Structure 1
Amino acid sequence: MASASDPIVRRKLSDEVFDRLKLMITSGDLQPGDAMPSERDLMERFGVGRPAIREAMQALSKIGLLTISHGERAKVRLLTARSIFQQVDQSAHIMLATSRDSLEHLKEARRFFERGMVRDAAKKASAREVEGLRATLERQRQSLGEAEAFITADMRFHTQIAAVSGNPIFEAVSEAMLGWLRQYHTDMLIWTGKEKYTLTEHEEILRHIAAHDADAAEQAMVKHLDRSASLYIHQAG
């Protein structure tokens, strides 16, 4: 909170425009999918020039509130847990690339997170969700020797486990962490021939989820993650 002795700071015009446009979106005046007013309309409405409008629009795009396409009016974007995490993807990749400790911290965070997710899945999973996991595991089995397809199915298996919670934030967290780790995973998995170990461990995890045995599911997940942790290698430099 500003005090009486603080200097008065003149705000940039684009900051004022940003606040007004954001209010139009967050108040519901503009709904997801709606086109924003034209630049000319906004210039006349706010009494500012085109640069202030464009700078404010770009700032709204960076935080995920707008989608800007060349030659089209900007559109209001539906914010979801997934889209919010996508906004930090580039920063996360830079952090991991420049810090070996960050990769270890991420692996530790994933281990803690997935222990809780698999316990929850073992308690809640419906027959349909178990079948969905089984179908993903089969796709992974059919992708042996195909790195990209195998890793995609691997990630999907873990994200589906998180999705059993019914909480989209958990699902988005799982998807984000696995995406950040992916660049450290693919080549090592194929070069070291560990695909079959992964399949066996996934089968064990699924078996305990289907049996609704939370303790056994957690133990199987911990064993899987501790074994596979060595496959994620920092490759900076």
Structure 2
Amino acid sequence: MAEASETIIRRKLSHEVFDRLKAMITGGELAPGDAMPSERDLMDRFGVGRPAIREAMQALANMGLITISHGERARVRRLTARSIFQQVDLTANLLLSASPDSLEHLKQARRFFERGMVREAALRATPEDIARLRGTLDQQATAVDAPETFIAADIRFHTQIAAISGNPIFEAVSEAMLGWLRQYHREILRWKGKENLTLIEHAQILRHIERHEPDEAEAALVQHLDRSSVLYMHAG
């Protein structure tokens, strides 16, 4: 019986540098906000050339562990739920642009997710939460003739509902999904040419949240998302 291969694979220097730099960050030698050592210091410390350092630093940046700014020292990034999701923005957008099915799957995921979020909001909302949502709805009402501003307020309204949970991961998930969907918003549906139907639906959702009515809030949200789902589609 042939023995399994035990061939040792020689790793690239940049991979070794990456592992050591990552250990410096995860081990606490470098804290969020700290400047990374200079390229020269790292070259001397690890005994490698500049290309290996730069490749490792770029890999750290791609993972969201550090921020690289032109003309300044790279700095360790403070990780948050939001920053983690931002790292998959490009991949998510590529997937969505390549597949109509993926867009439908995202809309379904949003529907499932927001049903839970609006129920939680109806159970937990404070007067401050209600005032924040009402302020966003008022801002949206003044932007019916400014589509980009209107859609931004729409996203903020839904993200604020998720934020009522008190869980930053829920808020980050909401922000990420809505951001990915935004580029597929094709039109703003107007009601009787004067008042946007979205505003009416948002007001209904808000009313049920304020009254702490989770079943009614969920039903209003589902109606809103099912109606507005057709507004998100691939071009062509």
Distance between the aligned counterparts of 1:4 and 1:96, measured in 2? 41
Question: Which stretch of the first structure deviates more once superposed, 3-12 or 89-98?
Answer: 3-12
Secondary structure in structure 1 of the residue aligned to 2:233: coil
Q: What's the counterpart of residue 86 of structure 2? A: 86
Task: Give per-residue Cα distances to partners, 1:46-84, cap 9 Å, x unaligned.
Answer: 111111100000000001011111111111111111111
Distance between the aligned counterparts of 1:29 and 1:169, measured in 2? 27
**Structure 1 residue 126 corresponds to structure 2 residue 123:** no
Gaps of 5+ in 1: none
Distance between the aligned counterparts of 1:142 and 1:210, measured in 2? 22
Gaps of 5+ in 2: none
Distance between the aligned counterparts of 1:160 and 1:90, measured in 2? 24
Q: What's the counterpart of residue 187 of structure 2? A: 188
Question: Which stretch of the first structure deviates more once superposed, 69-78 or 56-65?
Answer: 69-78
Distance between the aligned counterparts of 1:84 and 1:139, measured in 2? 29
Aligned length in residues:
231
Distance between the aligned counterparts of 1:91 and 1:193, measured in 2? 33
Q: What's the counterpart of residue 197 of structure 2? A: 197
Distance between the aligned counterparts of 2:104 and 2:70, measured in 1? 40
Q: What's the counterpart of residue 163 of structure 1? A: 163
Distance between the aligned counterparts of 2:135 and 2:158, measured in 1? 13
Q: What's the counterpart of residue 54 of structure 1? A: 54
Q: What is the deviation of 1:6?
A: 3.2
Q: What's the counterpart of residue 100 of structure 1? A: 100
Q: What's the counterpart of residue 226 of structure 1? A: 226
Distance between the aligned counterparts of 1:135 and 1:32, measured in 2? 34
Q: What's the counterpart of residue 210 of structure 1? A: 210
Task: Give per-residue Cα distances to partners, 1:146-177, cap 9 Å, x unaligned.
Answer: 00110010000000000001111100000000
Q: What is the deviation of 1:196?
A: 1.2
Q: Percent identity?
A: 69
Q: What is the deviation of 1:108?
A: 0.2
Q: Runs in 1 of length 4+ with deviation above 6 angstroms?
A: none
Q: What's the counterpart of residue 177 of structure 1? A: 177
Task: Give per-residue Cα distances to partners, 1:104-128, cap 9 Å, x unaligned.
Answer: 0000000000000000000001110
**1:21 partner amino acid:** L
**1:142 partner amino acid:** T
Secondary structure in structure 2 of the residue aligned to 1:162: helix
Q: What is the deviation of 1:4?
A: 6.3
